[in-house]
């Protein structure tokens, strides 16, 4: 579990940056940004196999934690009316 948390802390800024890029380039409803963050986190976690020896399931957990922790939780409590961009 310690490896998952360490990997999550490495992935969170990457996922957060990718979500910010998506928000600035594509007009999205703000209420789907947490879901977008989760999907990006899962994607980044799954393709990060060259950087870690963790199993795929653990990388997916780390990606999900990074996605929800990086921007998803912020977006859940922030005012989410309107669209991005």
How far is C-alpha 73 from the geometric centre of its chain's CA atoms? 10
pTM greater than 0.85 (yes/no): no
Closest residue by Cα to residue 66 from 28, 39, 29: 39
3-state class of 44 per DSSP? helix
**pLDDT confidence bin for 76, thresholds 50/70/90:** low
Higher-confidence position of 78 and 48: 48
The span from the CA of 22 to the CA of 25, in Å, is 5
* Arithmetic mean of pLDDT, 53-80: 78
Q: For the chain, which residues make up each domain, given as ranges? A: 2-77
């Amino acid at each position: 579990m310690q490896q998952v948390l360490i990997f999550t802390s490495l992935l969170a800024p990457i996922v957060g940056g990718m979500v910010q890029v998506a928000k600035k380039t594509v007009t999205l409803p703000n209420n789907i940004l947490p879901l977008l963050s989760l999907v990006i986190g899962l994607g980044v976690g799954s393709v990060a196999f060259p950087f870690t020896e963790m199993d795929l399931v653990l990388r997916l957990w780390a990606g999900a934690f990074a996605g929800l922790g990086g921007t998803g939780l912020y977006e859940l409590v922030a005012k989410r009316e309107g669209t991005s961009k």
